[in-house]
């Protein structure tokens, strides 16, 4: 990015992520490239797009009730897309960790009748999902839970082949809030779901072992980084910004590169994810003026169901406000420290206004409309949403949060592996072999 002043270190950003759309027509070609990339993978990140989830609550007192709700959803809905982002570690040079990433978005649809939730359809449509195109070209599959109820139909189950190949690669697999994804994957591409949640946990534990560990970016964000906000867009964008700053400051950062040439170029859809210019140039002045205009529901959860909500839903502006508030706290602490130091030395206090304008917390206030016009971002909205991109964001986040270990060539599998977050709970679900009566929850 040549957007910083002369003489400064250029920051590492990602301008766009090329996502290969895999459909019924190009499957044979794509699976070859997919397996080739898989054979070099260090991390596999997976995300699903579903036809709906039904009435899923946030708070369940018992794991069994939560599992029953997810199982009911999985056995009545279809998987619309399987996003897979493959990352292979290429080089560690100084403090830079370089990966090559291949991102695939498999368009899928159950061959059997399924339920579509209107809210999910509206969400997908508002993010550029083309339903008629999907019907024409998606990869049909027979869900594993219907295997015994249906006669074989001379159709090869391509998606089961894909999932088998992922498991056979024997490398860590990443999800974001993966309980729903794992229930759907099991039910659609593996086997009939067991009736009891304990048995399901036991079966997952046998799938995700030490080599093929399960990593969850939401769990890591909440329990390793200790962040109270953990929706995927927030996690990715925040860590992408941090990575940029780390690279500019010559601290440990990651570089992601994408394939330039392969037979799938014509199926690549670039998803723009350039950081906003004012962020890269650190021209953040006035950003706090926007705070009252932001939607608090969106800020906390990444979505807002209030019909006609006129507040702003923009992840970059949310992160601007967060960053400026943190700078304010740091500046206050610094002033306090300087006051104590100078009084102890019996010297005059620090001269105010010494900060350079580039680092000013909230300097000369520009007009809020002008700020909004210049800074509103489209990242995360419109056509930029697909399961492939979500899988990429998940993998990026997992690698970034583990970068210090990776730099020291240590395994990224630790006490935070093989644990899934439970929405609305202050503990996760640890995957371990089922022995009835044994506690599976961790705090
Ligand atoms: Zn809202």
Q: How many helices (H) and strands (E) in the chain?
A: 15, 12
Q: How far is the CA of 299 from the centre of ligand 1 (A)?
A: 9
CB 276 within 8 A of CB 378: no
Q: How far is the CA of 315 from the centre of ligand 1 (A)?
A: 12
Q: How far is the CA of 55 from the centre of ligand 1 (A)?
A: 21
Q: How far is the CA of 48 from the centre of ligand 1 (A)?
A: 25
Q: How far is the CA of 58 from the centre of ligand 1 (A)?
A: 19
pLDDT tens digit sequence for 172-197: 999 999 999 999 999 999 999 999 99
CB 404 within 8 A of CB 319: no
Q: How far is the CA of 303 from the centre of ligand 1 (A)?
A: 7
pLDDT tens digit sequence for 390-411: 999 999 999 999 999 999 888 7
CA separation (Å) from 60 to 72, 78, 331? 15, 24, 42
**Interatomic CA distance for residues 203 and 194, integer angstroms:** 9
Give SS3 for 429: strand
Q: How far is the CA of 281 from the centre of ligand 1 (A)?
A: 29
Strands (E), 143-240: 173-175, 214-216
Q: How far is the CA of 318 from the centre of ligand 1 (A)?
A: 13
When pLDDT is cut at 50, 70 and 90, the band that residue 435 belongs to is low
Give SS3 for 102: strand
Other C-beta atoms closer than 10 Å to the C-beta of 272 total 14
**Interatomic CA distance for residues 352 and 194, integer angstroms:** 67
Q: How far is the CA of 252 from the centre of ligand 1 (A)?
A: 36
Give the predicted TM-score (pTM) of the model. 0.89
pLDDT tens digit sequence for 269-295: 999 999 999 999 998 888 899 999 999
**Interatomic CA distance for residues 48 and 362, integer angstroms:** 40
Q: How far is the CA of 305 from the centre of ligand 1 (A)?
A: 7
Q: How far is the CA of 311 from the centre of ligand 1 (A)?
A: 5
Q: How far is the CA of 29 from the centre of ligand 1 (A)?
A: 42
Q: Where are the alpha helices (DSSP H) in 186-261?
A: 197-207, 217-223, 232-248
Q: How far is the CA of 314 from the centre of ligand 1 (A)?
A: 10
Q: How far is the CA of 8 from the centre of ligand 1 (A)?
A: 38
- Longest Cα–Cα distance of the chain, Å, equals 89
CA separation (Å) from 95 to 182, 248, 398, 406? 35, 11, 17, 10
Q: How far is the CA of 319 from the centre of ligand 1 (A)?
A: 16
Q: How far is the CA of 102 from the centre of ligand 1 (A)?
A: 34
CB 320 within 8 A of CB 279: yes
Q: How far is the CA of 309 from the centre of ligand 1 (A)?
A: 5
pLDDT tens digit sequence for 230-255: 999 999 999 999 999 999 999 999 99
Q: What's the half-sphere exposure (Cβ side, CA atoms, 13 Å) at 291?
A: 12
Give SS3 for 327: helix
Other C-beta atoms closer than 10 Å to the C-beta of 371 total 20
| Percent of the chain residues topping a pLDDT of 90 | 62
The CA-to-CA distance between both ends of the chain, in Å, stands at: 42
* pLDDT over 50 at 214, yes or no: yes
Q: How far is the CA of 408 from the centre of ligand 1 (A)?
A: 43
CA separation (Å) from 311 to 301, 302, 306, 377? 14, 13, 10, 14
């Amino acid at each position: 990015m040549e957007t910083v002043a002369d003489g400064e270190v250029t920051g590492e950003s990602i301008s766009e992520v090329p996502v290969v759309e895999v459909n019924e027509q190009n499957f044979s070609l794509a699976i070859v490239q997919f397996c080739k990339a898989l054979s070099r993978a260090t991390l596999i990140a997976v995300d699903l797009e579903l036809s709906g989830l039904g009435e899923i609550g946030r708070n369940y007192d018992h794991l069994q009730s939560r599992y029953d709700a997810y199982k009911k959803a999985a056995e009545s809905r279809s998987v619309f897309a399987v996003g897979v982002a493959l990352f292979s570690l290429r080089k560690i040079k100084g403090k830079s960790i370089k990966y090559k990433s291949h991102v695939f978005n498999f368009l899928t649809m159950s061959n059997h009748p399924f339920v579509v939730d209107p809210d999910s359809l509206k969400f997908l449509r508002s993010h550029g999902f083309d339903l008629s195109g999907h019907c024409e070209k998606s990869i049909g599959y027979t869900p594993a839970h219907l295997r015994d109820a249906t006669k074989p139909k001379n159709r090869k189950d391509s998606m089961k082949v894909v999932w088998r190949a992922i498991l056979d690669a024997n490398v860590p697999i990443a999800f974001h809030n993966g309980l729903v994804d794992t229930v759907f994957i099991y039910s659609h591409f593996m086997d009939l779901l067991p009736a009891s949640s304990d048995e399901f946990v036991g079966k997952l534990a046998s799938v995700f072992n030490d080599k093929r560990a399960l990593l969850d970016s939401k769990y890591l964000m909440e329990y390793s980084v200790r962040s109270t906000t953990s929706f995927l867009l927030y996690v990715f964008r925040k860590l992408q910004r941090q990575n940029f700053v780390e690279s500019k400051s010559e601290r440990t950062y990651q570089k992601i590169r994408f394939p330039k040439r392969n037979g799938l170029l014509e199926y690549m859809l670039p998803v723009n994810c350039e950081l906003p210019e004012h962020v890269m140039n650190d021209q953040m002045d006035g950003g706090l003026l926007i705070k009252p205009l932001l939607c608090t529901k969106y800020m906390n959860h990444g979505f807002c169901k209030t019909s006609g909500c006129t507040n702003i839903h923009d992840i970059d502006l949310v992160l601007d406000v967060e960053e400026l508030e943190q700078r304010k706290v740091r500046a206050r602490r610094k002033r306090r420290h300087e006051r104590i130091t100078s009084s102890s030395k019996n010297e005059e206090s620090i001269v105010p206004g010494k900060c350079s304008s580039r680092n000013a917390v909230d300097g000369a206030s520009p007009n809020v409309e002008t700020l909004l016009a210049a800074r509103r971002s489209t990242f995360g909205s419109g056509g930029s949403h697909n399961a492939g991109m979500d899988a990429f964001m998940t993998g990026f986040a997992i690698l970034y949060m583990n970068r210090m270990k990776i730099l020291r060539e240590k395994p990224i599998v630790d006490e935070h592996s093989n644990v899934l977050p439970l929405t609305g709970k202050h503990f996760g679900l640890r995957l371990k072999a089922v022995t009835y009566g044994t506690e599976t929850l961790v705090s």
